[in-house]
Amino acid sequence: MTSGDVRPDRHALLELEALLDELVQVRHDGDRGRFDVDHRFRWLLHRIWIAVGNEAYAYARLTGRDLERDRPWSGLYQLRNRLAHRRLPDIDEDEVWRMTQFRPEPLREQIRELLR
């Protein structure tokens, strides 16, 4: 099966799952101390969350979900927008760190349920 054989909404879920797997792996490469002092580590986590938000947006649009209300898609897309459009000094790094610590696994489980 090629990627052209996968429904677009399912493809977005598969991408989300892969990005969350990557986020968990990158998270294990550091701790809060590293996050606070290593701008490249922090930037990488930002970029992965932005990509997660892009795929959440794609999935929501492809399935007719409301990006203002339907969770978790709305929250992921809003985080993506904050990370992509705010100046670095204006980003709530505590929020990014909390999301990185506590959200990937529950999100991954939710996505896996949708893929079944």
Question: What does the pLDDT look like over 103-114, one tens digit per residue?
Answer: 999 999 999 999
Give the C-alpha separation, 105 to 1, whole Å: 27
40 to each of 30, 35, 51, how far by Cα in Å? 11, 9, 16
pLDDT reported for residue 10: 92
- This prediction has a pTM of 0.90
pLDDT per residue as tens digits for the range 11-50: 999 999 999 999 999 999 999 999 999 999 999 999 999 9
Binned at pLDDT 50, 70 and 90, residue 7 comes out as confident
Q: Tell me how far apart the alpha carbons of residues 15 and 9 are, in angstroms, rounded to a whole number.
A: 10
